[in-house]
Structures are given as C-alpha cells and as structure tokens.
Chain A
C-alpha cells in the first residue's frame, strides 16, 4: 500500500521535471536532464557553496579547540534552513492535498497516507538541511583529525538533523493548519508575515558578517557562556564531534520527539484535513450598492483578484514596499547622503540624477501586475468573454490597475530622491515626468508580455504568477530598460547635460508606450479574443 502511495507521491514531486504542463506533454530527455542539472547547480553549486564559504569563515574556531561550537552553530543554521525549506510543504502537502478526500474514502490506513505525504516533506527537509550541514562536515575534516567516532558522528549528523527538521516542520505545519482554520483576511496576514520574514532576512543578512567577526574574535567567551547557560547546545555540538554519550542522547531525544509528533499528528489528521469552512459564516444584509461604469467594474474585479491572493501580491507587487521603504530611507538619511556620498560625485551631478531615475524605474519594474493577469483568467475566461464589455476595456482595466497601484509609491520615491539630489527645477520636472512615463510604459509592456505568453491551463495560480514567461520578460525586460536609462548617461553625459538626456529618454519612453498601446488595441485585442 505504502509503495503505491509513494510511487504516486514521487510522480507528483518530480512531475515538473518530466512533464511540461504548459505544452501538456512529456519533456524530452535532454530537457529533463537540463532541469535536473539546473536544480543541482542551484542547490549544490549556489547554496552548497554559500554554506561552504560560511563554514570556512567559522573554521578558525575548530583550530581553537571549539569544534563543538562550530558544529552547534552549523547544526542550528542547517535546522533553520531545513525548516524554512519544508515547513510550508508540510502544511500544504499534508493538509491541503487535493486528493485527501479521495484517499481517505479508500481502504487505506491513515498512517500510510501520512507516511507517503511526510516522505515528500522529509526529502525537502533533508535536501535543504544537507546543503548546509554536509559542507560544514567536509570543512570540519579539513581542519581536524578524523577518528572512528568523529566519522560516525559526522555520518549520523545529516540524518539526525533531517529527522529533527521533520519533527519541527510537522509541529509548525500542525499549528499553521490550526491557525489558518481560524484566520480572517488570510491573504493580508500571509503577506504581512512574508514581509516581516523578508525584513528579518535582510536584517540578518546585513548584520551577519559583523556578527561572525565578533563571534570568532571572542569565541572563548562565547564558548564558555554557551557551555554554562545553554548546555543543550553544547551537547548538540559534541554529538557532531562524535562524543559517545551526547551522540546517543541527541539521537534518542530526536527519535522520541519525532515519534510523539507523528503520534499527535496522526490523531488529528482526519479532523484537520477534512475541515473546509475556515471562514466565519457572514450573513448577508441587504444594502444599497453603488453603480459603477463597465471599466470601473472590471478594474475593481482585477483589484479584488490582486488583493485576494498573497502569491499575486508578493510576486507582482513587492516593489510597492521597496519603493516606499527606499523613499523613507532616502528622506531619513538624506543629510548623510548629501554630506558623504554626493560629494564623491562632485562634477558628475547629472550621473546621480540619471542613476536615481534608473533605481526608481527598476523598483517600478518589480510590480508587473498586468503580466500574469491574462493567464489568471484561466477557467473563468468564459465569464468576461460572454459579457457585453469591449475587449479594449478588459485590457485597459489590466494595465490601468498596474498604473494606479504603482504611480503613488513611484512618485513618492521620485520626490524623495529629488529632495536629496536637489537638481534645477527643469531637471526635477523632467525627472518626475520620466518616472511617471515609465510607470505607464511598464504597465503597457507587462500586458504586452502577458498577451504574448498566455497560459490558461493551470491548476495552481503560482504557475502564471511566478513561473510564467510573461512575468520573467516583464520584470527582466523592465530592469533592462531601467539599467539602460542609467548606463547610457555614462556615454551621453559627456556630450549633453542631464536635463537634455532626460528629455530624450522621456521622448523614447513615450514613443515606445504609444507603440505598445497601439499594439494592445489592435493585435492584443485579437489575441485576447482568440484565446
């Protein structure tokens, strides 16, 4: 039974590598091999190298006799990374699987369903945690002599860590499932939590190097403190070194924790997996509804689509947060920027204006709401096509929404830059005009990409929002244009003042926008009507 379920589970996990959902056919062998190679490159090459470098930077503490501290730090990091990689798959894989009802209706023990589901979670955790812990073990043996027990400890460590990650993921997944059954405004809460995570991530990232330096410098003090106040961490570190008692103790504790967790989850699995009505029942009371024009109605529909999906907001609207954050940062640090950075560009003031313009345009390019909007019509396309709304109006609602959402943060960011840069009035006007024109251009361009790469046959909205080519072209194409705006001034700046340069770029952007606008209203309309 478990074998059959595992086969099904594996075919789901690796489906994307063997099957092209967009073309609805199997991938060629070359394509499958290339996908696997890309995956290995990202996981082993990029992630592994990152943790390898981190392990090397921590290696001095091994030579100081603090091998246990080295392992403790790397084990904690690999747990963190492993849980990050598998916690969301526990929730969705265990409780939100679409075939839960089907499998539960069959004569299959709940335990077998859970084991097959959790194997996927375990593999994710194993993969993420191994990418961190295996380079750490390799680096350890470069700087330390190998003994039988240290090899045993090193071999057991990835297994112990991955099992602990599985237990933690199950616990987190269990609580996420419990909370989400009660949560209101799920999309906004998810977005807020994700933004908090991003903020924390960037904070840790920027502080990490300073912390590592401090940690290595005072390793003796930190080591003694940890040994005294957090003995568990010491034990974990010692088990990595292969000390017998800590090794047995740590593995025993992890096994018991995992066993208890699986027992609790198996007891509540059916109840949580089959609970559907997450939202509190809201009774309807008749109230007067305001009338809207066709365009407003379709735009409100697009807005509702955007705000109802955390995936859509996070992947196609993150630039809004960055623009506001950049504006606030520039306003707060304006004095320091004027005193320390701008004097470095004395005589090249035009370059700072062009560069600031490029940065604003790059941030605008992160918001490509219109790009997946055509594909997102998906199975509901019949709806808008059967209504008496002109195709021009439907397409207009898509790019107008992107313009409306982008324009205020973009202008705020642009004005903040102007407050610090203080160019002459004409340059300032052109700067604002260019940023505004770019917002319009990028909305039109995003829709252009969306109409060129339509995929209506998706079962998960992440496909058009995150993985579609329209999104890739919209963001990277936008970045290309934004970088060109900044980079071209390096050449043009020698022969013309920045005001003239901005005017020329503004004219080009307006011309391109007019061209795409015309395309959308002619060929774009035809493309949409033939879907």
Chain B
C-alpha cells in the first residue's frame, strides 16, 4: 500500500532522514520508534506531503505524493504530535470544514460525527470554540476529523499523548478497525509497551537512518521491545 523508497531530507548540513525505505501493507499497524530528534516527525511529514524532501519517493497504491498530491492526500489522514487546530472555529465547524474538503456527504458526515464524538464523549462540546478545548479534547477532535472520510492510511505522530485511558483504548480499537477494513496505520510513539502490543510491524530509526524493521517478532525476538530499543540505541 504505502511505499517509501530511499527517502532523504536534509536541513542545512544535517541529514534528518537518510535513505529511508519502508513498505506498509494493507491491514498493518506499523509502529515507528526512535529517540528524540531521530527523524520520525520529518519522515511522517514528508510522507503525507506537508514537507518536501530532497530525494526518494513516496507512493500510495501507485499514487505519488509528489506528482499527484491531491489524489494522494484524499486517501490519507494525518494527525500531528501537537494538534494546533483552527482555534477560531467551534469543534463542529472544524469537523464540517474537514468533511467539506474531503467531500463527505451530509448524511455520512452526520453519522460519523455522531459515532466518533460519542466514542470520545465529545458530542456535548462540539459547539464550543476549539480555543476552549483542553489538549486532550483537541487531540480527540483531530482523531475524529482524521476518521471522518474513512481514509485508506492514517499517519499519526504520538497519537496517545494527552489522551485519557478510555480514549486511548478507544483509539486502539479504531486503529484495529481501520486495518480490518483493509486500511493501514503508520504511527510514531515513545510508548514501547503500546507499540509492542498494538503493532504488526515496527521500524526503529536512529539519527535519520533506519536501523531495524520487520514484524514485531522479527525485531524483538525473545526480548522485550524496550530491551531491543535500548540495545540498538547504545550501539554506535
């Protein structure tokens, strides 16, 4: 489904992402882990077309993020690490704005808003301005907006930060649902326990270079993901 080939991105002299290649298949939850500043966010932003990159290619079912960005973006949703949403809108106006952009018809959007806002107990707050939302509420709203158009691939940067335990649990279920319906999830996290339990595959990035990838069993073997990660981090 998603194919990242030889992705390279530099900021000045620093290579933030160096020749990274990954492939994410339909039905997979793919975890992306690495230390702070390893290049996770840069990779995710490059993949979803927010940030340009120096070389390499990113395709989704053959659609290129460079040559056909609109068609590519119609198939995906992105949730950043810090949900800076349009504070001047109310929650419902924001969701309708996103639904308009993705051309979600009136009935479908109403159903999905009701369903996901219900799951995250956000229904009563949808008329409130986003500026009055807490960090967790903004994160929930960003998640609802990502699910509104039933995307093929959801890219998330630290999606569990700020969520309460119930919302985290709901999100995990929603991620699994997407995959069961033929979609895929690509997300970064520092919570290795979550990655270990949730992900089908995992990739570890260090200083912009991919140092290990594969199924969870291939990567961790008999050890815990945390042990593997710390060992890899300790290596020069």
Chain A residues near B (Cβ < 8 Å): 276-277, 279, 281-286, 288-294, 296-298, 300-301, 304-305, 308-309, 378-380, 382-383, 385-390, 529-530
Whether the pair A293, B100 counts as a contact (CB closer than 8 A) is yes
Residues of A within 8 Å of B69, CB to CB, are 388
Whether the pair B85, A297 counts as a contact (CB closer than 8 A) is no
Whether, in the assembled complex, B218 has its beta carbon less than 8 Å from a beta carbon of chain A, the answer is no
Whether the pair A304, B70 counts as a contact (CB closer than 8 A) is no
Whether the pair B84, A297 counts as a contact (CB closer than 8 A) is no
Whether, in the assembled complex, B129 has its beta carbon less than 8 Å from a beta carbon of chain A, the answer is yes
Whether the pair A284, B125 counts as a contact (CB closer than 8 A) is yes
Chain B residues near A (Cβ < 8 Å): 45, 48-50, 52, 69-74, 77-78, 80, 82, 84-86, 88-89, 91-93, 96-103, 105-106, 109-110, 114, 123-129, 132
Determine which of B50, B77, B128 lies in contact with A282 in the assembled complex, contact meaning CB atoms within 8 Å: B128
Shortest beta-carbon distance from B5 to chain A in Å: 21
Known A297-B100, A300-B97, A305-B86: A382·B124 in contact at CB below 8 Å? no
Whether the pair A386, B124 counts as a contact (CB closer than 8 A) is no
Residues of B within 8 Å of A305, CB to CB, are 86, 88
Residues of B within 8 Å of A283, CB to CB, are 124, 127
Shortest beta-carbon distance from B87 to chain A in Å: 8
Known A382-B80, A388-B102, A389-B101: A529·B52 in contact at CB below 8 Å? yes
Residues of B within 8 Å of A529, CB to CB, are 52
Shortest beta-carbon distance from A142 to chain B in Å: 54
Residues of B within 8 Å of A282, CB to CB, are 127-128
Residue of A nearest to B157 (CB): A382
Whether the pair A284, B92 counts as a contact (CB closer than 8 A) is yes
Residues of B within 8 Å of A304, CB to CB, are 86, 88-89, 93
Whether the pair B105, A291 counts as a contact (CB closer than 8 A) is yes
20 A-B pairs besides A282-B128, A284-B123, A286-B114 with CB distance below 8 A are A279-B128, A279-B132, A281-B128, A283-B124, A284-B127, A284-B128, A289-B92, A293-B100, A309-B88, A380-B85, A385-B50, A386-B73, A387-B73, A387-B101, A387-B102, A388-B70, A388-B71, A388-B73, A389-B101, A529-B52
Residue of B nearest to A530 (CB): B52
Contacts across chains A and B counted by CB atoms under 8 Å: 96
Shortest beta-carbon distance from B126 to chain A in Å: 4
A224, B71: Cα distance in complex, Å: 82
Residues of B within 8 Å of A383, CB to CB, are 84-86
Residues of B within 8 Å of A301, CB to CB, are 86, 89, 97
Whether the pair B73, A294 counts as a contact (CB closer than 8 A) is no
Residues of A within 8 Å of B105, CB to CB, are 291
Known A279-B129, A284-B126, A291-B105: A388·B110 in contact at CB below 8 Å? no
Most buried by B among A288, A294, A298, A385: A385
Known A297-B97, A388-B102: A382·B50 in contact at CB below 8 Å? yes
Residues of A within 8 Å of B123, CB to CB, are 284
Whether the pair A294, B100 counts as a contact (CB closer than 8 A) is yes
A289, B48: Cα distance in complex, Å: 28
User: Sorted from nearest, which 9 A-B pairs have the closest CB atoms?
Assistant: A297-B100, A308-B88, A284-B126, A388-B73, A284-B127, A379-B84, A282-B127, A386-B78, A388-B74
Most buried by A among B45, B86, B99: B86
Determine which of B50, B85, B101, B106 lies in contact with A289 in the assembled complex, contact meaning CB atoms within 8 Å: B106
A530, B51: Cα distance in complex, Å: 7
Shortest beta-carbon distance from A53 to chain B in Å: 44
Whether the pair A294, B101 counts as a contact (CB closer than 8 A) is yes
Whether the pair B84, A388 counts as a contact (CB closer than 8 A) is no
Residues of B within 8 Å of A380, CB to CB, are 84-86
A221, B189: Cα distance in complex, Å: 81
Residues of B within 8 Å of A385, CB to CB, are 49-50
Residues of B within 8 Å of A309, CB to CB, are 88
A279, B130: Cα distance in complex, Å: 12
Shortest beta-carbon distance from A286 to chain B in Å: 7
Most buried by A among B72, B88, B89, B109: B88
Residues of A within 8 Å of B129, CB to CB, are 279
Shortest beta-carbon distance from A180 to chain B in Å: 14
A385, B72: Cα distance in complex, Å: 12
Whether the pair A382, B132 counts as a contact (CB closer than 8 A) is no
Residues of A within 8 Å of B125, CB to CB, are 284
Residues of A within 8 Å of B84, CB to CB, are 378-380, 382-383
Whether the pair A289, B96 counts as a contact (CB closer than 8 A) is yes
A65, B84: Cα distance in complex, Å: 65
Whether the pair A382, B73 counts as a contact (CB closer than 8 A) is no
Show 13 residue pairs from A and B whose CB-CB distance is below 8 angstroms, ordered by the A residue: A284-B91, A284-B123, A289-B92, A289-B99, A291-B100, A304-B86, A305-B88, A379-B84, A382-B50, A383-B85, A386-B73, A386-B77, A388-B72
Known A379-B84, A382-B78, A388-B73: A292·B127 in contact at CB below 8 Å? no
Whether the pair B100, A296 counts as a contact (CB closer than 8 A) is yes
Residues of B within 8 Å of A290, CB to CB, are 106
Residues of A within 8 Å of B110, CB to CB, are 286, 288-289
Determine which of B45, B71, B88, B126 lies in contact with A382 in the assembled complex, contact meaning CB atoms within 8 Å: B45
A243, B26: Cα distance in complex, Å: 90
Most buried by A among B45, B100, B103, B125: B100
Shortest beta-carbon distance from B110 to chain A in Å: 7
Shortest beta-carbon distance from B64 to chain A in Å: 14
Shortest beta-carbon distance from A318 to chain B in Å: 20
Whether the pair B106, A288 counts as a contact (CB closer than 8 A) is yes
Residues of A within 8 Å of B98, CB to CB, are 387
Shortest beta-carbon distance from A171 to chain B in Å: 28
Most buried by A among B77, B101, B106, B125: B101
